[in-house]
Amino acid sequence: MTELYAFNTGDWAYEYSSMLRLKNPGERYPSLCPCYLIDHPEGLVLVDTGVSHDLVANPAEYGAYGAPGFADFAADDVSVEGRPSAADAVADAGYDTSAVDYVVLTHLHLDHAGGITEFPDAEFLVQRDELAYAWWPADPVQRRLYVEGDFGVLRTPDYEVTELTGRHDVFGDGSVRCVPTPGHSPGHQSVVVDLPETGTVVLAGDTAFTEEAVERDLQPPFAWDTEAALASTRRIRDLARREDADVVLAHDREHHEDLPTPPNALE
Ligand SMILES: [Zn+2]
C-alpha cells in the first residue's frame, strides 16, 4: 500500500513580494523547505531533498566554489534549527537511506536540491532542461538559487542520473508520475501520486508558491518564464479538477501543516 511522508528540512522566512509579485512588500511569509517520501510496494521514491544544513552552516566553504550568493541574500532568513536533513528525516521515519531507489527533483534550486549527496545509491530523475540550465543560469537571481555544491556531484560517474524529457511513469503502473511544469525554472516538474485512501495528490513543488498564487495567478518576480509558469499552474489546476486531486505546494505552510506529521504518513 502506497504511503506518503512529508518532511521539513528547514524554515525560510521570505520577503512576501519576492514570492508573490507586488504582494505585501516588506512583510514576511514564514515558509519551509520540504521533501517527501513515497513508500510504493515496488520501491521508495524521495521527492526533493530540502536544503543543505552544511550550506546554511557555512556557505563560504560549501561545495567546490562556495555559495557567496546564498550568504548575501538568504543566510539570515533560513533556519535549520530543530529540523532534520533529508537523510535524517528518512531515517527518523524508519527507513534506511540507502534503500531509497529514486530521487525525483522538482528542480535544482537550493531549497530542493540540498540533500543530493545524502543519497549516493539512488537513481536521480531530473528534467534535462533543468540540468542544463542549473549549470549556467542567465538570470542573476536564478544564479543565486542554483548552488553547485548541491548538484555538482550529478556530473560525476558515481551518480546515476536519468535525464527526463517530458512525462515519466516511475513504476510503470501510473501511480507515481513526473509531469513537466516549467516556468518557475526551465525544467521544473511536479509529481502525481495515487494513494489508496486519499486518492490523487499532486506534489506541485514551486509551480506556484501558495494557494493564493494559484487562485490569483501570482508568480514570483524571479520566475524563469512567467507565462510558462502560469500555463503550468493552469495545467495543475485542470489536472486537480479532472482527477479530483489535492495539490500540495512546497512552500505553502498550510498545505504542509495539513499533511500528517512523521512518523505518520498519508495513506
Ligand atoms: Zn524554486
Q: Is the pLDDT at 26 greater than 90, yes or no?
A: no
The alpha carbon of 263 and the centre of ligand 1 are apart by a number of angstroms equal to 26
> Which CATH number is correct for 3-258, 3.60.15.10, 3.40.50.2300, 3.40.50.150, 1.20.140.10?
3.60.15.10
The alpha carbon of 169 and the centre of ligand 1 are apart by a number of angstroms equal to 23
Mean pLDDT of the 236-245 span: 95
Domain boundaries, the chain: 3-258
The alpha carbon of 27 and the centre of ligand 1 are apart by a number of angstroms equal to 20
Sheet holding 123-127, edge to edge: 78-79, 3-15, 28-40, 43-47, 100-104, 123-127, 160-164
Q: Which pTM was predicted?
A: 0.96
The pLDDT > 90 percentage for the chain reads: 85
What is the reported pLDDT for 19? 81
CA distances from 111 to 26, 144, 187 (A): 22, 11, 16
What is the reported pLDDT for 5? 98
The alpha carbon of 40 and the centre of ligand 1 are apart by a number of angstroms equal to 26
Q: Is the pLDDT at 230 greater than 90, yes or no?
A: yes
The alpha carbon of 213 and the centre of ligand 1 are apart by a number of angstroms equal to 14
Q: Which of 1-15, 59-73, 119-133 has the lowest mean pLDDT?
A: 59-73
The alpha carbon of 163 and the centre of ligand 1 are apart by a number of angstroms equal to 19
Per-residue pLDDT tens over the stretch 189-212: 999 999 999 999 999 999 999 999
The alpha carbon of 3 and the centre of ligand 1 are apart by a number of angstroms equal to 25
What is the reported pLDDT for 260? 98
Mean pLDDT of the 73-88 span: 92
